[in-house]
Structure 1
Amino acid sequence: MALYKREFGEEFNLGFDLADFPWLKDKSWHNDVSPSFTFKAGTQYLVLWVDHEEPDSRELEQERYLVMTAFNEGTEAEAEIYTGEDSEVVLATESPSELITYLKQLSSAH
């Protein structure tokens, strides 16, 4: 079972097929507000946050999909990727298709 499903329930719908983007590393944790996935674009670490489909189910008033810049507190071999105060939003959207288009553009780099 995928980590995000263990942490947020088997019924959690990402809105896209995680298998299409094998370079997304699931780092979901039940103490976070939503599932999250790390990846690297060039030299920049990024975190994708995927919130609940229904806005009423979200803890924060934000778009369903957020991609934010992140930093690595670990090493390249054992990365520990986190967002912080200096993180910037790269993509914020409600649209699964907009997120998928964004991820497909990055796919060629992986």
Structure 2
Amino acid sequence: MALYKREFGENFKLGFNLADYPWLTDKSWHNDMSPSFFFKVGIKHLVLWVDYETPDDREQSEERYVVMTAINEGTDSKPEINTGEDSEVVFTTESPSNLMAYLNKLASAH
């Protein structure tokens, strides 16, 4: 079972097929508000937060999908990718199709 489903329930829907983006690493943790996935673009680490489909189920986010800058507090071989006070939002959308277009653009840049 996927980590995000273990942490947020088997019925949590991402709105996209995670298998289409094998470079997204699931770092979901039940103490967070929603599932999260980290990835690297060039030398920068980023985290994708995926919130609940229904806005009423969200604790804080206005948009369902948020990509933020992050830092690696671990090593290259054992990364610990986290967002913090200095993290910046680089992309937000409510739309799964807009998110997939963004991710596909990043994938083509790899």
TM value normalised by structure 2: 0.97
The offset of 1:107, in angstroms, is 1.0
In the alignment, what sits opposite 2:54? 54
Does 1:4 pair with 2:4?
A: yes
Unpaired segments ≥5 residues, structure 2: none
The offset of 1:106, in angstroms, is 1.0
Give CA-to-partner distance per residue, 1:83-110, whole Å, 9 cap, x none: 0111000101101001000000111244
Residues 54 and 101 of structure 1, relative CA distance in 2, 3 Å threshold: same
The offset of 1:80, in angstroms, is 0.3
CA contact (8 A) 2:45 2:81 kept: yes
The offset of 1:62, in angstroms, is 2.1
Pairs within 5 Å for 1:62-73: 62-73=62-73
SS at match of 1:108: helix
Distance in 2 between residues matched to 1:39 and 1:2, nearest whole Å:
17
RMSD: 0.8
Distance in 2 between residues matched to 1:2 and 1:57, nearest whole Å:
21
Residues 68 and 103 of structure 1, relative CA distance in 2, 3 Å threshold: same
Runs of 4+ displaced beyond 6 Å: none
In the alignment, what sits opposite 1:96? 96
Question: Percent sequence identity over matched residues?
Answer: 71
SS at match of 1:37: strand
Distance in 1 between residues matched to 2:91 and 2:41, nearest whole Å:
13
In the alignment, what sits opposite 1:45? 45
Unpaired segments ≥5 residues, structure 1: none
